C-alpha cells in the first residue's frame, strides 16, 4: 500500500521557493507588525460581528436553535463583511462543508464573527466563526466554522476587488491557504463526479433483510416557496441564507419520515449557488433520504426556480447533501432503519451516497483536522488525493506564514532559518541566485533532479502522476549514521507554479513545492 508519510516529512523537509529566491520571506518577525496587530486594539477592517439571543421562535421541535435560522444569520454576517470590503452588493456563490460541534439551546446567545480572508478578482473568501454562550454560567462553546465565497456585483461593469492586506499571523495563514481552498472549490463538482464514477461499489442491497427496510419513497418531500421582499436583498436577489434555511427545512422533514423522531443535522456538504433567484420567483424544493447507514443518514435536496406562467422553464439553483443523526436522551446516536431505494435514480443515489460518505469522511479527516491532529501517515487513495494535496500545500504555506522563524546561521549568503513548534523542527534555507525565479523553481521542484543537490535523496522514481501538479514518488535515501541499510519511502509531491490562471495578477502566489 502506498503510504502518505504525512506531517513527519512535511514538517521536516518541506521546501518553499518564493518568487524571488532572495525574498526575505513573510515569516520573519521584523517584516511584520503582528505584535501590534495581535495586541489589543487591532481589528480586521472587514470584521463584522452579530450576537443573537436564541428565542423560542428560532428553535426546532427539540428546543434547539434551528440550523436554518443559524445559516441565515451566518450568511447575513458574512455578506455584510464581504460588502464592507467590496463597497458594493455581493451574492453568495458557495458555502463550504460545515460540521456542527454543538447544538444551541433557547436562552443562549449565538456570537458570529466574519471577516474577509482574501479577495481574488470579483470573489472573496469570508471566514466565519460561530460560538454559543450561556449567560448564566459564562460558559462558551465553539459551534462551527464556515467558509463562504461571495461575488461582488455591479450593474454595468465587472468588479475588480482591491486586495486584502493580512496583518496578524493568523490572517497571513488564512490569506495564504485561501488560494489553495479556492482552487479546490472550483474543481469540487468535477472532483466529486470523477470520484463517484470510479468508486468501487459495495453492493450491499441484496444482502439486506427487506422486511426491516423503509422504502425511500416514504421520505420524499416537495415544497414550494414564493420569494417575497423580506427574503431578498435591496436588489431583489434572494438571500443565500434564506435558500439554505428552506433547504434545511425540507431535508429535516425527509429525515424525520425515516426515523419517526426529531433528527439532528450534523453536517452539510458544500452549497453552490448556481444561479440567482429574485423576488417573485417560485422555488420548488425536493428532498429524499438517499441512504441510511447505521447511525446516520444522507438526505439530498434540490432547488429549482420558475416564474409565474413559465412553470416548465425551471432553473437549477442549488443541490446539497446533509447528514442527520437521531440522538437519544444521552445525546448518543441511535440505530437507524435501512432504506430501500427505488430502482433507477433511487438506486444510483443510494450508491452515490455511500461513496460520498467515504469521500466526506476523508475530507473531514484531512481538511478539517487541526494541524496538530493530522496523523503522521495517511494512506493514499484516489478519493483523498485532492485533500492530501490541499493539506500538503496549505501546511507548507501555514508554516511559511509563521512569525517565529529564527535565523540560525548565515554562511556565504546562504541563510538557514529554524522554527521549533511543539515536537517539530522545521528548516528554511534562503539564498540569492541570479536565475529567473520560474526556472529555479522548475529545477528545484523536479524530484528526479533532487539527488543532484540533496544528499538525502539517492534515487527517485515516479510511481504515479496523479494530476498535472501532483505525483507519487518512490525515494531511496542513503544509509544514515550507524544504520547501514538505505531507507526508502513513498511521497506525494505537490507543485504550485508561480502564477496559476485565475489568481489576481497583483498578488501572484509564490510558487510552492511540498511533499507529504
Ligand atoms: N465557489 C466559489 N467561487 C466560485 C464558484 C464556486 N462554486 N463558481 C464561480 N466562482 C467565482 C469564480 O472563481 C469567480 O471569482 P473571481 O472573479 O474572483 O476569479 C467569480 O465567481 C465569477 O465567476 P464567473 O465564472 O465569471 O461567473 P459564473 O458564471 O460562474 O457565476 C456566480 C458565478 C456566483 C456569480 C453565479 O453562479 C451566480 O450568480 N450564482 C447565484 C448567486 C446568488 O444569487 N446567490 C444567492 C442565493 S440565490
Ligand atoms: P442527483 O440526482 O445526481 O443526486 P440532483 O441535483 O438532481 O442530483 O438532486 C440532488 C438531490 O436532491 C438528490 O440526490 C435527491 O436526494 C434530491 N432530489 C432530486 N430530485 C428529487 C425529487 N424529484 N424528489 C425528491 N428528492 C429529489
Predicted confidence (pLDDT) at residue 212 exceeds the cutoff of 50: yes
Report how far residue 264's alpha carbon sits from residue 324's, in angstroms, rounded to the nearest whole number. Answer: 5
- Whether 510 is in the pocket of ligand 1, judged by its Cβ within 6 Å, is no
Per-residue pLDDT reduced to its tens digit, 372-423: 555 556 677 777 777 788 877 777 877 887 888 999 999 988 999 999 877 7
CA distances for 471 relative to 72, 457, 489, angstroms: 41, 16, 14
Per-residue pLDDT reduced to its tens digit, 125-142: 999 999 999 999 989 999
Per-residue pLDDT reduced to its tens digit, 422-470: 778 888 888 888 888 788 888 888 899 999 988 889 999 999 998 888 8
368 and 101 in contact (C-beta within 8 Å)? no
pLDDT at 189: 85
SS3 149: strand
CA distances for 5 relative to 2, 362, 475, 478, angstroms: 9, 16, 12, 18
Give the number of whichever ligand sits closest to the CA of residue 322.
Answer: 2
pLDDT at 370: 57
Residue 261, C-beta contacts closer than 8 angstroms, at least 6 positions apart: 326, 334
Nearest CA to ligand 1 atom 10: 93
Least reliable range by pLDDT among 181-195, 303-317, 368-382? 368-382
Per-residue pLDDT reduced to its tens digit, 80-130: 999 999 999 999 999 998 999 999 999 999 999 999 999 999 999 999 999
498 and 441 in contact (C-beta within 8 Å)? yes
Distance 319 CA to ligand 2 centre (A): 7
SS3 111: strand
392: nearest Cα among 133, 180, 229, 134: 180
Percent of the chain with pLDDT strictly greater than 70:
83
> What sections of 260-344 are H helices per DSSP?
none
Site to probe by mutation for ligand 1, drawn from 82, 91, 93 as the one with most ligand atoms within 8 Å of Cβ, is 93
pLDDT at 164: 94
Least reliable range by pLDDT among 7-16, 198-207, 296-305, 500-509? 7-16
- Whether 272 is in the pocket of ligand 1, judged by its Cβ within 6 Å, is yes
- Whether 288 is in the pocket of ligand 2, judged by its Cβ within 6 Å, is yes
Give the number of whichever ligand sits closest to the CA of residue 355.
Answer: 2
Cβ neighbours of 485 (radius 10 Å)? 8
Report how far residue 431's alpha carbon sits from residue 22's, in angstroms, rounded to the nearest whole number. Answer: 6
**Mean model confidence pLDDT for the chain:** 83
Q: Tell me, what DSSP letter sits at residue 393?
A: H
Site to probe by mutation for ligand 2, drawn from 271, 300, 314 as the one with most ligand atoms within 8 Å of Cβ, is 300
- Mean local confidence (pLDDT), 182-196: 84
| Sheet arrangement for strand 123-133 | 48-53, 109-119, 123-133, 140-152, 90-95, 271-272
- Mean local confidence (pLDDT), 254-280: 94
Report how far residue 282's alpha carbon sits from residue 303's, in angstroms, rounded to the nearest whole number. Answer: 10
pLDDT at 512: 54
- Whether 121 is in the pocket of ligand 1, judged by its Cβ within 6 Å, is yes
CA-289 nearest atom, ligand 2 = 16
**H or E stretch at 34:** helix 34-38
Report how far residue 177's alpha carbon sits from residue 180's, in angstroms, rounded to the nearest whole number. Answer: 5
Phi (first) and psi of residue 10, to 5 degrees: -60, -45
pLDDT at 205: 64
Predicted confidence (pLDDT) at residue 27 exceeds the cutoff of 90: no
Predicted confidence (pLDDT) at residue 501 exceeds the cutoff of 80: no
SS3 395: helix
pTM of the model: 0.83
CA dihedral 513, 18, 176, 121 (to 10 degrees): -110
pLDDT at 32: 34
Report how far residue 384's alpha carbon sits from residue 369's, in angstroms, rounded to the nearest whole number. Answer: 14
494: nearest Cα among 409, 396, 360: 396
Report how far residue 112's alpha carbon sits from residue 75's, in angstroms, rounded to the nearest whole number. Answer: 10
Report how far residue 110's alpha carbon sits from residue 114's, in angstroms, rounded to the nearest whole number. Answer: 13
Amino acid at each position: 500500500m502506498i503510504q502518505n508519510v504525512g506531517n513527519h516529512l512535511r514538517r521536516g523537509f518541506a521546501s518553499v521557493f518564493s518568487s524571488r529566491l532572495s525574498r526575505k520571506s513573510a515569516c520573519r518577525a521584523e517584516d511584520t507588525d503582528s505584535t501590534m496587530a495581535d495586541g489589543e486594539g487591532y481589528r480586521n477592517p472587514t470584521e463584522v460581528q452579530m450576537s443573537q439571543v436564541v428565542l423560542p421562535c428560532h428553535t426546532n421541535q427539540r428546543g434547539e436553535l434551528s440550523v436554518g435560522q443559524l445559516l441565515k444569520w451566518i450568511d447575513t454576517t458574512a455578506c455584510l463583511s464581504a460588502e464592507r470590503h467590496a463597497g458594493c452588493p455581493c451574492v453568495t456563490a458557495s458555502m463550504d462543508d460545515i460540521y456542527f460541534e454543538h447544538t444551541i439551546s433557547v436562552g443562549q446567545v449565538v456570537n458570529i464573527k466574519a471577516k474577509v480572508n482574501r479577495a481574488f478578482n470579483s470573489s472573496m473568501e469570508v471566514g466565519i466563526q460561530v460560538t454559543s454562550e450561556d449567560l448564566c454560567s459564562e460558559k462558551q462553546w465553539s459551534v462551527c466554522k464556515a467558509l463562504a465565497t461571495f461575488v461582488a456585483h455591479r450593474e454595468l461593469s465587472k468588479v475588480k476587488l482591491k486586495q486584502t492586506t493580512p496583518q496578524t499571523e493568523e490572517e497571513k495563514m488564512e490569506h495564504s491557504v485561501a488560494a489553495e481552498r479556492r482552487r479546490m472549490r472550483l474543481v469540487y463538482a468535477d472532483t466529486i463526479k470523477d470520484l463517484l464514477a470510479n468508486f468501487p461499489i459495495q453492493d450491499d442491497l441484496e444482502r439486506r433483510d427487506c422486511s426491516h427496510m423503509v422504502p425511500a419513497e416514504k421520505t420524499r418531500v416537495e415544497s414550494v416557496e414564493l420569494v417575497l421582499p423580506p427574503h431578498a436583498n435591496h436588489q431583489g436577489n434572494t438571500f443565500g441564507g434564506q435558500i439554505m434555511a428552506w433547504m434545511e427545512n425540507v431535508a429535516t422533514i425527509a429525515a424525520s419520515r425515516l426515523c419517526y423522531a426529531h433528527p439532528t443535522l450534523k453536517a452539510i456538504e458544500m452549497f453552490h449557488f448556481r444561479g440567482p433567484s429574485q423576488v417573485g420567483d417560485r422555488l420548488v424544493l425536493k428532498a429524499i433520504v438517499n441512504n441510511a447507514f447505521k447511525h446516520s443518514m444522507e438526505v439530498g435536496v434540490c432547488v429549482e426556480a420558475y416564474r409565474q406562467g413559465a412553470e416548465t422553464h425551471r432553473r437549477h439553483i442549488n443541490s446539497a447533501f446533509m447528514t442527520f443523526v437521531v440522538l437519544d436522551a444521552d445525546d448518543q446516536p441511535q440505530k437507524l432503519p435501512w432504506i430501500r431505494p427505488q430502482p433507477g435514480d433511487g438506486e444510483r443515489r443510494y450508491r452515490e451516497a455511500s461513496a460520498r460518505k467515504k469521500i466526506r469522511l476523508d475530507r473531514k479527516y484531512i481538511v478539517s483536522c487541526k494541524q496538530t491532529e493530522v496523523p503522521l501517515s495517511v494512506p493514499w487513495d484516489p478519493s483523498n488525493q485532492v485533500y492530501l494535496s490541499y493539506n500538503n500545500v496549505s501546511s507548507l504555506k501555514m508554516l511559511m506564514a509563521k512569525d517565529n522563524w529564527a535565523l540560525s546561521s548565515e554562511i556565504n549568503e546562504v541563510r538557514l532559518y529554524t522554527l521549533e513548534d511543539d515536537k517539530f523542527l522545521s528548516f528554511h534555507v534562503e539564498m540569492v541566485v541570479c536565475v529567473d525565479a520560474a526556472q529555479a523553481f522548475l529545477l528545484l521542484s523536479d524530484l528526479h533532479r533532487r539527488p543532484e543537490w540533496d544528499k538525502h535523496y539517492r534515487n527517485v522514481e515516479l510511481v504515479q502522476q496523479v494530476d498535472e501538479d501532483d505525483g507519487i514518488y518512490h525515494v531511496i535515501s542513503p544509509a544514515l549514521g550507524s544504520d547501514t541499510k538505505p531507507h526508502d519511502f513513498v511521497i506525494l509531491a505537490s507543485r504550485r507554479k508561480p502564477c496559476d490562471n485565475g489568481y489576481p495578477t497583483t498578488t501572484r502566489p509564490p510558487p510552492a513545492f511540498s511533499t507529504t
